[in-house]
Amino acid sequence: MLKGILNYAHYLLEEAINQDEIVIDATCGNGNDTLFLSELVGEHGKVLAFDIQKEAITATRQRVIEHERTNVFLIHDSHENIAKYLPANKDEKISGAIFNLGYLPKSDKKIITKPDSTITAIDTILEHLRKDGIIVIVVYHGHEGGKEEKEAILKHLFHLDQQQYSVLRYGFINQKNDPPFILAIQKKAN
């Protein structure tokens, strides 16, 4: 059976992430993916959850507390600054990351992810991604500014070295109103 967009995003992450690893939720929003990642890495793993909006951090913090998760580190900052929060030890690699592009549901639709900051974050994570690690990007593009971000990211990922990375696009083509789709980048084990 075909998986829906969010189910497929989680499936990809489940296949790549192990217990006790470091993962990133680059746009924590309401905390759904943060909790999912927290469960995947277990109590000794670590989730770095970013958002530029205080209300997203507050909502995610509430969910983390409700579910008694102690392995989540909430960071009220842009994902373009991920490098500042990564382990200094280069041997500690990121095993997975997720982005949900666009705007925070039920909030100000003028506060959106931007192409430059998103691409910076992707490139930073790629530098720190372990072999067979994965970045999953859920591209919502039906809002003002969304098409520009979509095109910039597609263009950028198109040029990733195929010897180092596999890049997948997954989405439904017969849905109306600019349906979201997934871009996934997996670092090859070469």
Q: Is the pLDDT of residue 104 over 90?
A: no
Strands in the chain per DSSP E:
22-25, 46-51, 72-76, 94-100, 129-139, 165-171, 181-187
% of residues, the chain, pLDDT over 70: 100
- State pTM to two decimals: 0.96
Q: Is the pLDDT of residue 150 over 90?
A: yes
Cα distances (Å, whole numbers) of residue 148 to 22, 38, 118: 31, 32, 12
Question: What is the reported pLDDT for 90?
Answer: 76
Instruction: Give the confidence band of 51 by pLDDT, cuts at 50, 70, 90.
Output: very high
Q: Are 101 and 138 in contact (CB under 8 A)?
A: yes
Q: How far is CA 138 from the centre of its chain?
A: 8
* Partners of 47 in beta bridges: 23, 72
Quick one: CA torsion of 126, 62, 72, 31, rounded to 10 degrees? -30
Average pLDDT estimate for 107-131: 93
Higher-pLDDT residue of 59, 189: 59
pLDDT tens-digit series, residues 65-89: 999 999 999 999 999 999 999 988 8
* Partners of 25 in beta bridges: 49, 98
Question: What is the reported pLDDT for 101?
Answer: 96
**Domains of the chain by range and CATH?**
5-187 (3.40.50.150)
Q: Is 134 helix (H, G, I), strand (E, B) or coil?
A: strand
Q: Is the pLDDT of residue 190 over 80?
A: no
Instruction: Give the confidence band of 116 by pLDDT, cuts at 50, 70, 90.
Output: very high
| 109 vs 102: CA distance, rounded Å | 8
* Partners of 24 in beta bridges: 48, 97
| 106 vs 160: CA distance, rounded Å | 34
Question: What is the reported pLDDT for 109?
Answer: 83
